[in-house]
Amino acid sequence: DAKTTQPPSMDCAEGRAANLPCNHSTISGNEYVYWYRQIHSQGPQYIIHGLKNNETNEMASLIITEDRKSSTLILPHATLRDTAVYYCIVRPRGGKLSFGAGTTVTVRA
């Protein structure tokens, strides 16, 4: 019962920014937006999370709309190694993760 909606797939050119959208229109006030990714044959990897403010770390930036009903993960300079399935998840801090189908991102040279 994932609470998020993501496009099933997207392509991105190497070196360009990749903008991954996520809709979470039923998000509750105490729920955070988390992003994970899963590279083929590996376990999921945490990317970033936020509550209502935009966040940035060494991997990505997270832009959350003011009404918190949607967000965008930005990979500033996509590389071939960023090819993976990206999952947008909403949950209270410390709760279990409910993974949907995610977005399959293919970075092309």
The residues of the shown chain that bind other proteins, judged by CB under 8 A, are 2, 34, 42-46, 49, 87, 93-94, 96-102
Cα angle 78-46-7, degrees, rounded to a multiple of 5: 60
Do the beta carbons of residue 70 and residue 16 sit within 8 Å?
no
Task: Give the residue with the Cβ less far from other proteins, 21 or 44.
Answer: 44
Task: Give the residue with the Cβ less far from other proteins, 28 or 46.
Answer: 46
Q: How far is the CB of 15 from other proteins (least distance, A)?
A: 27
Task: Give the residue with the Cβ less far from other proteins, 16 or 57.
Answer: 57
Contacts of 51-55 spanning 24+ positions with Cβ under 8 A: none
